[in-house]
């Protein structure tokens, strides 16, 4: 009888190493493009937040339980009004974090003024994700 070998999935560690090796090149290009040649504060915020660097939370927000909602596009953000109302009704102590991956969705979310924090979704890098997730006490994640 043939033995079955255990198959290990090395794809994520390999993927993360490749991204990490590529990161200096990306940072170098983005730094020059965003910080030396543009004055667009939104794009600078997008870049720093995607690396996991977020503004400090107030003491009450730092201790709160967070519901993390991710909406990638402007239409998804617009459709969240009723969901956020239900979350606030059922869990009045919970705070709502909205992440998006583009400037128009971020702008729409800020205009709606129904989220406690609006930020850009972090890059898929271990250190960025750890910084981002460590910033909040997330108890639930909703991806639209």
Tally the C-alpha atoms within 13 A of residue 60's C-alpha that lie toward its C-beta.
4
Q: What is the per-residue pLDDT for 82?
A: 96
Q: What is the per-residue pLDDT for 84?
A: 97
* Beta carbons of 97 and 138 less than 8 angstroms apart: yes
* Torsions phi, psi for 37 (to 5 deg): -115, 0
Determine the average pLDDT of the residues in 122-133. Answer: 87
β-strands 137-143, 117-120: how paired? unpaired
Domain ranges of the chain: 11-143
Give the residue among 83, 105, 102 at the shortest CA–CA distance from 94.
83
* Beta carbons of 137 and 66 less than 8 angstroms apart: yes
Model pTM score: 0.78
* 8-41 pLDDT, tens digit each: 666 778 887 888 888 888 878 877 777 777 777 8
Give the residue among 42, 22, 43 at the shortest CA–CA distance from 32.
43
Domain 11-143 has CATH 3.40.50.11720: yes
Q: Which two tokens stand for residue 70?
A: 């991710």
Please count the helices (runs of H) and the strands (runs of E) in the chain.
7, 4
Sequence-ordered strand ranges (E) for the chain: 65-70, 95-100, 117-120, 137-143
- Cα–Cα distance measured from residue 127 to residue 65, given in angstroms and rounded to the nearest whole number: 22
The DSSP secondary structure of 83-99, one letter per residue, reads HHHHHHHH-TT-EEEEE
* 55-101 pLDDT, tens digit each: 888 878 888 999 999 999 999 999 999 999 999 999 999 999 999 98
Q: What is the per-residue pLDDT for 70?
A: 96
Q: What is the per-residue pLDDT for 123?
A: 86
């Amino acid at each position: 009888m043939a033995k079955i070998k255990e198959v290990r999935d090395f794809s994520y560690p390999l993927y993360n190493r490749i991204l990490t090796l590529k990161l200096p090149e990306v940072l170098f290009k983005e730094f020059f493009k965003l910080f030396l040649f543009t004055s667009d504060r939104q794009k600078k915020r997008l870049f720093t937040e995607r690396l996991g660097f977020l503004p400090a939370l107030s003491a009450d927000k730092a201790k709160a339980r967070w519901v993390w909602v991710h909406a990638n596009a402007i239409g998804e953000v617009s459709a969240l009004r009723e969901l956020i109302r239900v979350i606030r009704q059922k869990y009045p102590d919970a705070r709502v974090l909205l992440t998006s991956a583009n400037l128009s969705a971020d702008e729409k979310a800020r205009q709606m003024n129904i989220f406690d924090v609006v930020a850009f979704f972090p890059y898929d890098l271990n250190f960025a994700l750890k910084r981002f997730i460590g910033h909040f006490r997330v108890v639930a994640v909703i991806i639209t």
